[in-house]
Chain A
Amino acid sequence: GQQLNQSPQSMFIQEGEDVSMNCTSSSIFNTWLWYKQEPGEGPVLLIALYKAGELTSNGRLTAQFGITRKDSFLNISASIPSDVGIYFCAGRGYSTLTFGKGTMLLVSP
């Protein structure tokens, strides 16, 4: 099946720092999604992107659908301790979603 490369695998940052993570694919996707999973819970949808070049924000989170349709980026500004969790990208071509392996984010107060 299709594969997504998500990086970095983990990040340990100080509160207030900005965070960037990205996903790349060898295949073209029609939709990119970003999910967050907090400890002991299932993933929750943060942002959905439907068009190449699209830039969408949700509070302190901003995500972009790459022009080539093979990548996507998620930025978190001014991180806070409750941003801790695993962030997953997911892409859809013509079938089911393919998930990245996740970026574990730890935020030190």
Chain B
Amino acid sequence: DVKVTQSSRYLVKRTGEKVFLECVQDMDHENMFWYRQDPGLGLRLIYFSYDVKMKEKGDIPEGYSVSREKKERFSLILESASTNQTSMYLCASSLRWKNEKLFFGSGTQLSVL
């Protein structure tokens, strides 16, 4: 089975801090994604990557950046965390571009105080 591992289950940070969320997948998938999930808003795509060192903006990229230096690892970066970035963050991967079967991690609940 594909395993997508997010480094932290819960994080508490202060406003203005730089925050790194890490995600690792173990099935050599080409594509990786970062979503945020908020009550009543569903899953919204922040950024995705279809290859090492490649990145594409999703629907809500403002305030975020990403890094993909290795195929298996995709990092989400909040340069200066703000309270409106308090959310559940979900990482996902898929085998090929436009391969529909996304495999999700368990999520990181980030609270920015």
| A-facing residues in B89-106 (Cβ within 8 Å) | 90, 92, 98, 100-106
Q: Find out whether the CB atom of A92 lies under 8 angstroms from the CB atom of B42.
A: no
Instruction: From B35, B42, B100, B104, give the contact of A44 (CB < 8 A).
Output: B104
Closest to A31 in B: B100
Whether the pair A92, B100 counts as a contact (CB closer than 8 A) is yes
Kindly identify, within residues 28 to 61 of chain A, every residue whose CB is under 8 Å from any CB belonging to chain B.
31, 33, 40-45, 48
Q: What is the count of residue pairs linking A and B with beta-carbon distances less than 8 angstroms?
A: 47
Would you call B66 an interface residue if the criterion is a C-beta within 8 Å of the partner chain's C-beta atoms?
no
Q: Is A102 engaged at the interface, CB distance under 8 Å to the other chain? A: yes
Decide: B48 and A96 in contact? CB cutoff 8 A.
Answer: yes
**Chain A residues within 8 Å of B58, by CB:** 96
Residues in chain A near residue B106, CB distance under 8 A: 40-42
Q: Does A65 contact B (CB under 8 A)?
A: no
A42–B42 touching, CB < 8 Å: no
- Residues of A close to B90: CB separation below 8 A: 42-43
B104 and A100: CB pair below 8 A? no
A97 interface contact, C-beta 8 A: yes
Bound together, the chains give a CA A26 to CA B64 distance in angstroms of: 29
Report whether B92 and A1 are in contact in the complex, using a CB–CB cutoff of 8 Å.
Answer: no
Given A41-B107, A42-B105, A42-B106; A1-B42 close (CB under 8 Å)? no
Selected A-B contacts with CB under 8 Å, 10 pairs? A6-B42, A9-B40, A42-B105, A42-B106, A42-B107, A45-B101, A45-B102, A96-B58, A97-B45, A97-B102
Seen from chain B, the residues whose Cβ lies within 8 Å of a Cβ on chain A are 4, 33, 35, 40-45, 48, 58-59, 90, 92, 98, 100-107
